[in-house]
Each structure stands twice: as C-alpha cells, then as structure tokens.
A and B are shown apart, each in its own frame.
Chain A
C-alpha cells in the first residue's frame, strides 16, 4: 500500500545550523509532495511543496529536493532559528487518487539558541 517513511524522528541543532529531513515514498504514481509544520497544539501548516515535474524548489531559508527515480524527497532549512522548532511532516499525493495526503511519521526539530 501507499507509505511514506520519514527520518530522523528527532533532530536537534544549534541556532544558525542547517537541518535536513528526508522522506521516501512507495507509490510511484505520487506527483505532489507538500511539507507541513505543526507547532504544539496547532494545525499543520504548509511551508513548501513540490510537484513531480520539478527537481528542486526554494523559498528563502527553506528548500525541497525531489529524486523521482529513487522516490526520495528532502527538506532543507538553513540558518535555523528557535522559532523553527516544531514537528515537520512530509506527505505525498498520488496522481491516481483523489488528493489524499499520505503523511510521514514526523520529525521533531529542536533549535537551541
């Protein structure tokens, strides 16, 4: 069945360092890959997304890369700040479905001042 694996489950960095979170998807028909940030007790909020016809996308300190052959995609956060601390979820949407998001298990990122 459809599955998204996400690593690491926790990540601790010093302020100013970079953070990388990696995901692997199983459904080769997946064509849309959003990343959500969830602060404690809050709703998931989209921070960046990428479609399968693009290999990389950047928005200020955040970038996402996609390797369709390997079925990997990654989130890169540069110059991390304490307010980046949250749980980050990757997700995948299959072109054969009706837009359901299959989420990874999440990465708890802690940025220490």
Chain B
C-alpha cells in the first residue's frame, strides 16, 4: 500500500538557522498539506497546496515559512530562521481530492536549540 514518506525523521538545529523538511506524497494525489503537532498537543494545520500553488494557509504560516514542489514527487517545507517555538513534529499529508482521506507521513521531529 503506498504511503507518504518524510525525511529526516529527526532534525536538530540552532535558533536562527534554516531548515528544509522533505516529503514524498502518494503519487496519484493532487492535494498536499503540512501540519504540526507540538508535544502533547493537537495537530494544527499550516498550509495546503494544490496545482502548484498555496491554496490556504493558517496564521502560523508566516513569512518565515514557505513550501515548494520542486519536481514531480517532492514537497518541501522551509523554515527560514527557526525559533525555539518552532520545535514540534511536522507532518506532511496528501489526498486525492477534496473531502477525501488525508494520508499522513510519519513526521519529522524538529528540535530548535
């Protein structure tokens, strides 16, 4: 069964550094998402992406964040200048269409020191 994959599984960085989190969505899916989950809290929506552009973003997704689909398979989340409060688990997800199941990747645990 196809799965969403993410790399790395754990990323440790210094405050102010840039990080890029990578995802490979399921191949025939058209909608892509990033969510984050601070330890012990709920999953929060960051951004959705369709047809090579951002379709919706949350208040969390400020100018420090960007997403890109650099080729036909990868979907990346970049945080330009990390802050301590960016420490969280970041999940990528994808779906075939609207109101279809969103399949989540295994997550990248980001630790900002």
Contact = CB atoms under 8 A, between A and B. Distances in A.
Interface string A28-54: 000110101000001111100101000
A89 B105 CA distance: 16
Nearest to A51: B99
Interface residues of A, number: 23
Contacts of A101: 33, 35, 43, 45, 102
Interface residues on B, range: 20 to 34
A89 B42 contact: yes
A49 B101 contact: yes
B101 A102 contact: no
B25 interface: no
Interface of A: 31-32, 34, 36, 42-46, 49, 51, 89, 93, 97-106
Interface of B: 31, 33, 35, 41-45, 48, 50, 55-56, 58, 91, 95, 98-99, 101-107
